[in-house]
Amino acid sequence: MTVTQLKAVPVPHSALDDIPPMVERLRATFESGKTRPLAWRREQLQGLRAYGKEQAERLAEALHADLNKPAMEAYAADIGQVSNEAKHALKNLAKWTKPERIGRMPMLGKSVLMRDPLGVVLIIAPWNYPVGLLLSPLVGAIAAGNAAVLKPSEVTAHTSAVLAETLPKYLDSDAITVVEGGVEETTTLLDQRFDHIMYTGNGQVGRIVMEKAAHTLTPVTLELGGKSPCIVDATADLETTARRIAWGKFMNAGQTCIAPDYVLVEDSVHDGLISALEKTVKQFYGNNPQETQDYARVVNQRHHGRLTKLLEGQEIAFGGKTDVDDCYIEPTVLKNVSVDSPIMKNEIFGPILPVLKIANVDEGIAFVRARDKPLALYIFSGEEDVAEKVLEETSSGGACVNGTIMHIGDARMPFGGVGESGMGAYHGRSSFETFTHRKATLRRGLRFDFKMMYPPYTKFLTNMVKKSV
């Protein structure tokens, strides 16, 4: 399939009337016990591994059609995580699902923690990484033994269409299905009964998801993003710092939930950092980033308009060129930004980076703490004590010292937000635990029975219990 062919794909929709019976069909599959055996789970995880490899090129073409996403970013940051997560789950599945012995209770028996699948789960993915953020959580849902409904974003219509067409060839369609569409289809899905809902996106929709879930007391995992700060002190190596900030910010044209949203830099190195960032952007994308194959586009004209409006009245250090027909915004750095301007109120989610001066790291910490807890926090410093101070005195979903983005690459580490940036976590074992109920179980034998514990209670037993309190 070529990009030209992909551009003919219409915005996809699933029939609303088909959604309730489809969810019930999946529930019947789960209730039948089909998804519980480890053999079934392994087969589906192997299918996901194969899918990530065999359909990689077609998915990359779809991502290019939707976002002009460079092939490197498509494979490394979107498609690749599916196979990697599935491989990790296959390697650890037996260990994760094995009953966990807690210990013995005197005269009562053995305490064991068992892990049960929740049932039928709903995974709602965003448009910025429409493959990885849909299928990476699915790995955990499958590993835990659940049936699942997948809702890709209608904004990236080409990718949604490819996922809906190709996934059923690799997975058990009696237990795992894709629903396409927009607000109507998502609303209809949220009206159904699920056993867990995972949503990745913005806080406004996250609140709607949580409100809907409250009607059936359905647990939710929300990954909501936010304004992830970078703090840079005077001891940081500016060239390395600039490369790592620019890479994390301008990857996928800034449309990454943990992209650096703004920089707080000590006054003495403010100008040096901006110069290093400008030099880095030219090294990455050349003198005209619109011509390179290594720079993505804003997803659509609506978001392009939102971002260009944020540029109004700002002092541009470099960048700032836009092309609405191409959904293009040049990698842009702002300086002398007012903390009260609109660009500092909400997550930017685009290739615009405000750089603000601070007197010292303490001022940066206070700035971060005065605002909503971010999904990620980045500290650049040549002093280990400074980095530790920032980590200890701030709260964020995750953090990275002298780097950006890369902290989510370790499947052994949970990924999730705190406060306004979300709740719950996934990746690796955390995904498995998210879609699992931990069932506390006491195992007793029948040969010995401590009869003194039953009524009528003796004075001796009462006194013995009293002394233990």
Catalytically active residues, by annotation: 223, 257
Give 79's DSSP letter. Answer: I
H helix runs in 311-409, sequence order: 361-369, 384-393
Q: What 3-state class would DSSP assign to 289?
A: helix
Residue 65 CB: number of other CB atoms within 10 A?
Answer: 23
What is the Cα–Cα distance from 182 to 152, expressed in whole angstroms? 9
Residue in 433, 440, 383 with CA at minimum distance from that of residue 412: 433
Computed over its alpha carbons, how large is the radius of gyration of the chain? 25
In the chain, the amino acid numbered 62 is A
Q: 298 to each of 69, 130, 254, how far by Cα in Å? A: 10, 14, 8
| H/E stretch holding 438 | strand 436-443
Q: Is the Cβ–Cβ distance between 154 and 64 less than 8 Å? A: no
Q: 179 to each of 21, 153, 284, 377, how far by Cα in Å? A: 12, 10, 38, 34
